[in-house]
Structure formats: C-alpha cells, structure tokens
Amino acid sequence: MKNIKKIFLVLAFFTVAPMVLLYGFSPAWFALNFLGIEKLDMNITHILRVVVCLYLAFGILWLYGAINKSYRDIALLTVVLFPAGLFFNLINYLVDGQPQPLLLIYMGLEFVMVPVAYWVFKQPDCPV
C-alpha cells in the first residue's frame, strides 16, 4: 500500500483523540462513567489533564508526520514507543490485580499497536 505510513499516522491520531476528549473535558465524568470512581481528588484531575496534554501532543506530531514526509519516520517511532512504554500496565495488573474493563481494553490495544506500528515503520517510504 502506497500511503500506509500516512494513513496509519492519521488513524493513530484518531485512536487517541477520543481519549483526549473524554479525559480532558471532564475527568470527573470519565472517572465516574468508565472507572466507577465517584469523586476525583483535585490532584488526580490535574494529573489526568496533564496526561491528556501528552496524548494531544503526540497526536499532533502524528498528524504532522502524516502531512510532512520529513517527520514521518520520527512520528511513526513515537507511535511504537508510546504504547510500548505503557506495557507497565501489565506490571500493574500483575501487582495490583484486574482493573476496570476499559483499562483492560486499552492494555489489549497496546499489545496490538506496538508490533503493527513497528511493521508500518519498516515499510518503504512513499514518494509523496
């Protein structure tokens, strides 16, 4: 596929975009509806919003890499590294026990995303 790197980077952005919207606009609503946490401490709210900014920054890099060929490979490498760093979710699972189902879904997506992103990264560059 000729534009696989560009398409993959756009899809990567749209993978994190819902999390940015859910966590960032209302961490308390997200925590209540998806994690069963009724009241968030103000510090946890701030931490969630900081994480959202990190997700958003990566997402913007991924979109920029899709548009600008000279940034495409570095953007793809961050798509590989971003979920790979989150493999620590597995350690959390083993140490603390099973989290909410949504977090298990995230963990499963991380295990799928790393090899797929690496495979896309290794594909030859498209001339455009």
Count structural domains, the chain: 1
In a domain, 64, yes or no: yes
Does this model's pTM top 0.85? My answer is no
In a domain, 12, yes or no: yes
What pLDDT sits at residue 127?
A: 63
Residue with tokens 């060929």: 69
In a domain, 127, yes or no: no
In a domain, 14, yes or no: yes
What pLDDT sits at residue 73?
A: 95
pLDDT one digit per residue (tens) for the chain, 128 residues:
679 999 999 999 998 888 888 888 888 888 888 888 899 889 988 888 888 899 899 999 999 999 999 999 999 999 999 887 677 778 888 899 888 888 888 888 888 888 999 999 999 876 65
In a domain, 8, yes or no: yes
**Among candidate residues 49, 61, 63, 58, the one with its CA nearest the CA of residue 21:** 49
In a domain, 114, yes or no: yes
Q: How far apart are CA 21 and CA 17, in angstroms?
A: 6
- The distance of Cα 91 from the centroid of its chain, to the nearest Å, equals 18
In a domain, 58, yes or no: yes
Range of the domain at 83: 4-122
What pLDDT sits at residue 83?
A: 80
Q: Which residue pairs from 97-106 have beta carbons closer than 8 angstroms and sit at least 24 positions apart in sequence?
A: 100/34, 100/35, 100/36, 102/34, 102/35, 103/35
In a domain, 47, yes or no: yes
What pLDDT sits at residue 13?
A: 94
Question: Residues in the chain, how many?
Answer: 128
